[in-house]
Structure 1
């Protein structure tokens, strides 16, 4: 079996922030009643964390769950385990109105880091990127210019997920917003 590759191989741009293609974990989208005990138990079993609160992600050792909507989670599992996790979720949630699908190959991921990472994203998304509104552990489904994305805030930067088909466009947008000399100074460096 060939090794998985990112949508744009190992692209990287360094300016006021560092933009780099990120290796992707397998991703499973789960639609279900997130308040149901059976769903909460199945998520915990699948990724080792609890169902996150709205606009949050719970992550541990590269696995976790991001809140996408009142009835949808994006689950992050080790590479190569997406299909097995979908089968396990289907079994655990049998009889419930629920659906799980492996969306790993449809997604691309980028890491945005450095002292102006938050500002670079704020230039491109309508999501409020203020540190007090979008702290580490935050997770947003939003837009980056004209395309849908999800953004997860971590202690050392951000992970941005987009459809694989628009990865080149997203990389170019992020690189332009991170161009040397483009700092606006809206957020304190490293905020």
Structure 2
């Protein structure tokens, strides 16, 4: 068996805003009734966080949950624990209508770090990123340029961006060019 590598294999674009590969991240798509108490309990057991409200992500380190749609969560766990997490979800939700799928190797996680990271994303995504509208823990599924992506704000100067592995290089380069273009001064 070969060793797993991230889609961007450590790629880095350093500058006033740094764009970098976050490395391997366990990601599970979980579809089901988000109001189901068994679903909420297994999510808490696997990640340590409660199911977030619409448009939110609750992430601590490599573990957390992000609201994807009315019946879908993105479950984040350390990469090496993704298989076990799916097994725990399958066992806990047996007999209910749900789908849990490990998508860790089909996605990429890119970090945008720096004091104008908000502007880097605002140049690329049709999302209101004004600080009054988008803050810590906010989560959006959207597009970056021509590709589907999702992102959340981890802290005041860091955004986490998820995209499909097949477009990771394009998304990374798009973010890097946006960062190199400099500040707009809008926020």
Please indicate, yes or no, whether the TM-score normalized by the shorter chain is above 0.5: yes
The residue that corresponds to 1:173 in the other structure is 174
2: distance between equivalents of 1:24 and 1:141?
Answer: 20
The residue that corresponds to 1:141 in the other structure is 141
Asked if the contact 2:63/2:78 (under 8 Å) is kept, the reply is yes
2: distance between equivalents of 1:24 and 1:119?
Answer: 26
Matches within 5 A, 1:155-166: 155=155, 156-166=157-167
| Alignment partner of 1:154 is 2:173 | no
Matches within 5 A, 1:1-150: 2-150=2-150
Deviations 1:53-72 (CA, angstroms, capped at 9, x unpaired): 11111122321101101110
Q: What is the deviation of 1:130?
A: 1.2
Deviations 1:78-101 (CA, angstroms, capped at 9, x unpaired): 121111111111111111111100
Give the aligned length. 186
Structure 2, unaligned stretches of length 5 or more?
Answer: none
Asked if the contact 2:10/2:23 (under 8 Å) is kept, the reply is no
Look up the SS of the partner of 1:81 in the other structure. helix
Q: What is the deviation of 1:16?
A: 3.9
1: distance between equivalents of 2:7 and 2:176?
Answer: 16
Q: What is the deviation of 1:2?
A: 4.4
Structure 1, unaligned stretches of length 5 or more?
Answer: none
Look up the SS of the partner of 2:79 in the other structure. coil
Look up the SS of the partner of 1:84 in the other structure. helix
Look up the SS of the partner of 2:80 in the other structure. coil
2: distance between equivalents of 1:74 and 1:4?
Answer: 21
2: distance between equivalents of 1:64 and 1:103?
Answer: 15
State the Cα RMSD in Å: 1.3
Asked if the contact 1:16/1:117 (under 8 Å) is kept, the reply is no
